[in-house]
């Protein structure tokens, strides 16, 4: 079910049951696995490998209990060259995946995200909307990257880390601000980051640490780093 209004490059191979909606643009030498769905307008570069049961370019839906970012700019999901997107991934519209990115099985990336060149998004990792990820970043399996977060180049985030952006927990969508993780910083597995903190360049956060305030460049933080709330 490939729309006649899609642009398909040379030497593209489709698995069984692939769906390409209208106005999608697919480069040369792309391979798409079985039962994957490429939604309207999605742009895929050359030499990409798309897994099975994948959805690319998903539209947003929400109920009355969820925050809407009405002033977002809408554009197609745009995927560079030599990108690998593994099985069961769900990537939304209005996001940019740069060249040579690898995205593991069962991962999900929301709208208004940029993933820089050669970065790795692990299996089951989730990237929320409006987050910027630099080049050669590693986000390992199962980590949760919140909305409105900045991750600079060469950052390493171990498995099962969790981040947050809403100090007052559902305070109405104002002032959501995720952490900033500066160049080359490393987070051990299962670390927890509070909202609106900065992890300095080449800082090291130990496994299981709870980071509640800024960490200086090249500092090492372990355990429970401080109090959560000012009282």
Q: Which of residues 185-214 bind its own copies (CB under 8 A)?
A: 186, 188-190, 192, 194, 204, 206-210, 212
Which position among 24, 160, 176, 203 is part of the footprint of its own copies (CB under 8 A)? 160
Using rule CB under 8 A, residue 55 touches its own copies:
yes
- Show the tokens assigned to 168: 């007052």
Helical segments of the chain, H only: none
Q: Does 90 bind its own copies (CB under 8 A)?
A: yes
- Binding to its own copies, residues 98-127 (CB under 8 A): 100-102, 105-106, 108, 118-120, 123-124, 126
19's CB contacts (< 8 A; 6+ apart) are: 1, 2, 36, 37, 38
Going by C-alpha positions, the residue among 87, 113, 114, 99 that lies closest to residue 47 is: 99
Residue 119 CB, shortest distance to its own copies, in Å, is 7
Task: Output the six-digit token pair for 195.
Answer: 């909202």
Contact with its own copies (CB under 8 A) among 66, 71, 73, 172: 66
How near is the Cβ of 43 to its own copies at its closest, in Å? 20
Of the two residues 12 and 20, which places its CB atom closer to its own copies in the complex?
Answer: 20
> Cβ contacts of residue 46 below 8 Å, gap of 6+?
9, 27, 28, 29, 30, 81, 82
Stretch that binds its own copies, among 22-30, 40-48, 68-76, 141-149 (CB under 8 A): 141-149
Q: Which stretch binds its own copies (CB under 8 A): 4-12, 22-30, 73-81, 181-189?
A: 181-189
Q: Does residue 132 interact with its own copies by CB under 8 A?
A: no
- List the 25-26 sheet strands across, edge first: 7-8, 25-26, 43-44, 78-79, 96-97, 114-115, 132-133, 150-151, 180-181, 198-199
């Amino acid at each position: 079910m490939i729309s006649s209004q899609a642009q398909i490059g040379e030497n593209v191979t489709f698995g069984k049951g692939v769906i390409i909606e209208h106005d999608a643009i697919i480069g040369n030498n792309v391979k798409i696995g079985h039962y994957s769905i490429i939604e309207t307008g999605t742009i895929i570069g050359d030499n990409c490998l798309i897994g099975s049961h994948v959805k690319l370019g998903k539209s947003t839906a929400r109920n009355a209990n969820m925050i809407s970012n009405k002033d977002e700019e809408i554009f197609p999901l745009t995927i560079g060259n030599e990108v690998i997107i593994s099985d069961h991934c769900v990537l939304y519209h209005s996001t940019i995946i740069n060249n040579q990115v690898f995205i593991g099985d069962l991962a999900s990336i929301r709208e208004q995200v940029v993933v820089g060149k050669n970065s790795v998004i692990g299996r089951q990792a989730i990237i929320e909307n409006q987050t910027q990820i630099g080049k050669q970043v590693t986000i390992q399996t199962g980590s949760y990257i919140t909305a409105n977060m900045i991750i600079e180049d060469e950052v390493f985030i171990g498995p099962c880390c969790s981040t947050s952006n809403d100090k007052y927990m559902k305070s109405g969508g104002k002032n959501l601000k995720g952490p900033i993780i500066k160049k080359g910083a490393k987070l051990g597995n299962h670390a927890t980051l509070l909202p609106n903190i900065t992890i300095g360049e080449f800082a090291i956060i130990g496994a299981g640490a709870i980071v509640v305030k800024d960490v200086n460049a090249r500092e090492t933080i372990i355990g429970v780093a401080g109090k959560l709330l000012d009282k």
